[in-house]
Amino acid sequence: MFGLMQSQPLLISSLLVHAERHHPEQEIVSRRVEGDIHRCTYRDLASRSRRMARALQALNIKPSDRVATLAWNGYRHMELYFAVSGIGSVLHTVNPRLHPDQVVWIADHAEDQVLFFDLTFLPLIAAVAPRTKTVKHWVAMTDRAHLPESAASIPNLLVYEDLIAGQPDDTFEWPTFDEQSASSLCYTSGTTGNPKGVLYSHRSTLLHTMAAALPDALNCSARDVILPVVPMFHVNAWGLPYVACMTGAKMVFPGGALDGKSLYELFESEKVTLSAGVPTVWQALLGHTAANNLKFSTMRRTVIGGSACPPAMIRTFKEQYDVDVIHAWGMTEMSPLGTASTFKTRHLGMTQEERYEVMNRQGRAIFGVDMKVVDEDGREIPFGTDKSGDLLVRGPWILRQYFKGEGGDVLRDGWFPTGDVAKIDAEGYMLITDRTKDVIKSGGEWIGSIDLENIAMAHPAVAMAACIAAKHPKWDERPLLVVVKKPGAEVTREELIAFYDGKIAKWWTPDDVVFVEAIPLGATGKMQKNKLREQFKDYQLPTA
Ligand code: ADP
């Protein structure tokens, strides 16, 4: 038909082209592994990404070849986001907190051709380099002056800054190709079985970026200064490097210094307005600010997701720091964003207490994500029914099948089963009550462990709490609360159990409490309840 719109593929390189043209002077600030603070602009990012793209082509990297990174959040990592995907090859971000055996397994499975690494991970690279099957080049993300002697043991070692310096930046144009081409690859942490790869496309990434930046999602603009604490190896830092380019926001990268003090310094010195991370990260940061009586002078909102944000944390951020928490939910298989808890007009007239009720939920679906909750028979539970069930999703940035078809057909009638148990209220606000595998089944009824953890987390002496199923002779399973106390704080089992009075149905109250030094955290900073279940598999609950 005459008179249609232009047909342009949605490509990741277009984000960089836009940022360079419209925000060339905007800054990207990184705390480097080398120890200093590095500053550059979107103009530099674009130029260096082009040169790195050429260097990759000179190494004979072809479209759809996988190029891996083992790196912190930093400007070089961001350059690779664009250089690698921009030439049609696939950026595979590997989680450096994985065991060396898992890194080898993942690199082999992905058939990585080149692996870029931060110097922090040199010992890990030394351990895995002789064992991987497909990696032809190992690139240290530094310059020659900072290369330690020990790096000489790595075979086929290249230096990042040499690769860039070896290429001109004159006539390079980003290639145009099908928007359905693969752009990046991220493996799920695989709490059960081997990790599975989730393969994003240019199209899925661009659509996700547009939706993520919207006011009722992450609400990003050219006036923002974004510090993603969430790692770039964890679902592309929830899309923030792409969102920053699209909006022209200033970007601040913390590198490997993720302790409360280092993060706080960067928040203040760079005037960060927006941050994002999992609850355990904020736990550490708030511990530092509380102990030193510090406030945030510019940060006004932070996105918290990856696991349920305890309501007590949302309240602390608001009342003590004037920071609004955007509680968000998603998963690797969803690029990752699915919902964000932001207000509708009618909430604006509510009291703060009523607003907390909204903020505590994981939120409304952002456009592009269709979600529903189904019962045991697969029938949809209508919005507004106070009943939880399996949460299913579909949309253009949601997985159809895992990389290489691992796990077979995962969709149910076109919907992806998230493995989460949730309910959705009449206005579409979703609340995760549990993960299917963490649910506690007591006498045939389900008890949601997140609720129980959230209550414990509101107790002033509790630093971290996990609630797991313990075997029970009569009820099959009963809740066991595992608690890490705050340093110097005291609380007894009886006091904690009494703390549940009136806050929850009596039969949901944990049967027992155990105090531990630490709760195991996974590679993305989440509590590993499967490890706890293993640890307490023979635990004898008191029989009343
Ligand atoms: P995994 O931890 O399985 O490797 P992801 O990092 O993709 O993978 O985590 C996705 C899961 O994390 C979700 O299915 C959900 O169980 C949990 N999750 C993410 N955000 C939230 C949230 N805001 N509240 C509760 N659970 C969450």
Predicted confidence (pLDDT) per residue in 121-159, tens digit: 999 999 999 999 999 999 999 999 999 999 999 999 999
Query: Is position 295 annotated as part of the catalytic site?
Result: no
Number of structural domains the chain divides into: 2
pLDDT score recorded for residue 499: 96
Judge if pTM exceeds 0.75: yes
Is 363 touching ligand 1 by the criterion CB < 6 Å? no
Q: Residues of the chain with pLDDT > 90: what percent?
A: 90
**Is 349 inside a domain boundary?**
no
Domain boundary among 218, 234, 257: 257
CB of 340 sitting under 6 A from ligand 1: no
Q: What is the mean pLDDT of residues 3-27?
A: 97
Does 34 qualify as catalytic in the annotation?
no
Give the confidence band of 277 by pLDDT, cuts at 50, 70, 90: very high
Query: CB within 8 A of 502, min separation 6: which ones?
Result: none
Domain boundary among 257, 287, 311: 257
The whole domain housing 184 covers 12-257
Distances (CA, A) of 321 to 21, 286, 315, 316: 36, 10, 9, 7
* 76/115 Cα distance (integer angstroms): 13
> Which pLDDT value is given to residue 190?
60
Q: How much distance in Å is there from the Cα of 425 to the middle of ligand 1?
A: 20
Does the pLDDT value for residue 437 go beyond 90?
no
pLDDT 10s digits, 361-391: 999 999 999 999 999 999 999 999 999 999 9
For residues 125 and 70, the answer to whether their CB atoms sit within 8 Å is: yes
* Closest among 439, 307, 304, 429 to 371, alpha carbons compared: 429
Q: Which of 228, 257, 286 is the last residue of a domain?
A: 257
Residue-level pLDDT at 171: 84
d(CA 298, CA 286): 16
Q: How many Å apart are CA 210 and CA 539, to the nearest integer? A: 49
What is the CATH number for 531? 3.30.300.30
Mean pLDDT of 419-423: 96
- Atom 4 of ligand 1 has which residue's CA nearest to it? 189
Which DSSP symbol is given to 488?
A: T
**Cα(332) to centroid of ligand 1, in Å?**
8
Average pLDDT over residues 43-48: 98
Q: Is the CB of 329 under 6 A from ligand 1?
A: yes
Six-digit token string for 353: 């207490």
Q: Is the pLDDT of residue 511 over 90?
A: yes
Q: Which of 62, 344, 441, 537 is catalytic?
A: 441
Nearest protein CA to atom 19 of ligand 1, as residue: 306
Is there a domain that residue 302 lies in?
A: no
Whether residue 544 is predicted with pLDDT greater than 80 in this model: the reply is no
Tell me the pLDDT tens digit for each residue of 175-204. Answer: 999 999 999 999 997 656 788 999 999 999
In a domain, 484, yes or no: yes
Residue 152 lies in a domain: yes
User: pLDDT at residue 222 above 90?
Assistant: yes
Catalytic residue among 41, 120, 134, 188: 188
Check residue 382 and give its pLDDT. Answer: 98
Q: Does the C-beta of 308 come closer than 6 Å to ligand 1?
A: yes
- Would 291 be classed as within a structural domain? no
From the list 289, 241, 285, 288, the residue with the least C-alpha distance to 82 is 241
Q: Is residue 247 part of a domain?
A: yes
pLDDT bucket at 522, cuts 50 / 70 / 90: confident
Whose CA is closest to atom 13 on ligand 1?
331
Give the mutation target among 232, 327, 391, 420 for probing the ligand 1 site: most ligand atoms within 8 A of CB.
Answer: 420
pLDDT band at 542 (very low <50, low <70, confident <90, very high): confident
Our answer to whether residue 508 is catalytic in this structure is no
Supply the CATH number for residue 72's domain: 3.40.50.12780
50 vs 543 pLDDT, higher one: 50
Conformation bin of residue 270: beta by default, left when phi > 0, alpha when psi is -120 to 50 = alpha
**Would residue 409 count as lying in a domain?**
no
CA distance 213 to 249: 11
In a domain, 396, yes or no: no
Active-site residue flag, 446: yes
